Amino acid sequence: MVHHSSARVREAAVKGLLRRGPASIKELFHLIEDEDDSVRRLILHHLGQERNEASETLLLQYLEEGKIKGSDDKHIIACFRTLGRCGSPRSIPFLRQTLLGRGWMPDLRSSAYRQGAALALQAMRIKGAQQVLEDASRSLKPGVRRIARKVMQDPGHQSKE
């Protein structure tokens, strides 16, 4: 049913499977790239409900690969924000590298990745993540500095989601 052509059927199937228990998220994770936004949001909502090592691992692998096919900036940012909600200090090195470590020449998605990393760090609400945001707010790269300062000034920052 999760492969059905109707988005409503897929969404109903996902809801039913997720009610059975958290173990099913691994089998359903591929739906994070579903063509229907409501199915993608459902998967992300479930992943971000609590700090969870399995959810964190799935999202870290997905984002580290950087092969988010056909996704728009809103989806990329939503994935990062969800990582912030389910993640632990284990995610901080990746988020730091994403926010601070990209080159001077921007590629098409670097801004979305940077903004997503900043929002994930903010959502973690832990000291190490806050330190990365503070470091980014003093970056020599104006784009990084602007993103970090905006996220730090607006704790409820909802841009592009």
Six-digit token string for 49: 């409900």
pLDDT given at position 8:
83
Residues of the chain predicted below pLDDT 70: 1-4, 22-23, 69-71, 102-109, 155-161
pLDDT given at position 158:
46
Quick one: DSSP state of residue 3? T
pLDDT given at position 72:
85
Cβ neighbours, 10 Å, residue 104: 7
25, containing H or E segment: helix 25-28
Residue 110 and residue 106: Cα distance in Å, rounded? 6
pLDDT digits (tens, 9 = 90+) for 102-140: 655 455 568 899 999 999 999 999 999 999 999 999 999
Residue 25 and residue 14: Cα distance in Å, rounded? 9
pLDDT given at position 41:
92
pLDDT given at position 155:
61
